[in-house]
Amino acid sequence: MADSEGAEKVLFVFDFDHTLIDDNCDTYAMNVAPQLNLIEKVHEMRKEFTLWITMMNYVMKAQYEHGSKPEDVLRVMKEIDLIGPMKRTLEKIKEHPLVDAIIVSDANSFFIRAILENHNLADVFKTIHTNPACFNESGCLEISHYHAHCCTRCRKTPNMCKGLIMHSIAEERSTYSRIVYVGDGSNDYCAAMHLSPRDHVVARTGYGLAKRIAAEKPPPSFNVIDFTDPQAAVLLQSLMP
């Protein structure tokens, strides 16, 4: 929990979409072949595919069959910027010896790595928990499930329960004095419920996580901020040792 001089370490856990980036990298990837108008068809496709990952594999295959190459997918991912205050927070974490950071995201490993590497921030994170993704021999991106689970809170994401991930992290938490969980969506709720009273939840204003926690009676203590507000970086840095 403490270094040789007695200072306590902190672990920051970040979601990715609408948390570190102000977009959804899955839907943004549909711009690889804009002629297919896949973004306009998302709601229609959601009715056809039970699982989001199944839909995304269909999307990537459709774009591949239209002629897209791995470098086209990479180019589109490089168009995505990090939210300003969050980027400054990551840069601060990168140079802070008493702060570790990980990502827990229902996106995929290729998209996340491509975006972080483009901003020279991939080495900030100790671990990235996400759906594995790689290009097959033909050059089509294929996405796999992170894990199977039976969590009733996470029925909408059968490929990932963030609560299970946080539970495994909490079991090894003797390294850290506290955990700071930063997220936006309702699928971050289960993760937040696995934190202890000494931990912090930072939820994005107006998004599913903030709404769901606020509905708890009595609501647990947590911070709700607009991640695009410059003061977001100030708050997050105040939670560092």
Q: Which residues are annotated as a binding site?
A: 15, 17, 26, 106, 184
Bridge partners (DSSP) listed for residue 104? 129
Is position 22 annotated as part of the catalytic site? no
Is position 72 annotated as part of the catalytic site? no
- Feature table: binding site for Mg(2+): 15, 17, 184
Say which of 3, 15, 72, 188 is annotated catalytic.
15
Nearest Cα residue to 39 out of 54, 24, 61, 51: 24
Say which of 17, 100, 188, 199 is annotated catalytic.
17
Nearest Cα residue to 125 out of 14, 7, 239, 9: 14
CA pair distance 86, 239, nearest whole angstrom? 14
- How far CA 73 is from CA of 31, 34, 152, in Å, comes to 9, 12, 34
Nearest Cα residue to 221 out of 190, 195, 191: 195
Question: What's CA 179's distance to the chain center, in Å?
Answer: 16
* Active-site annotation, residues: 15, 17
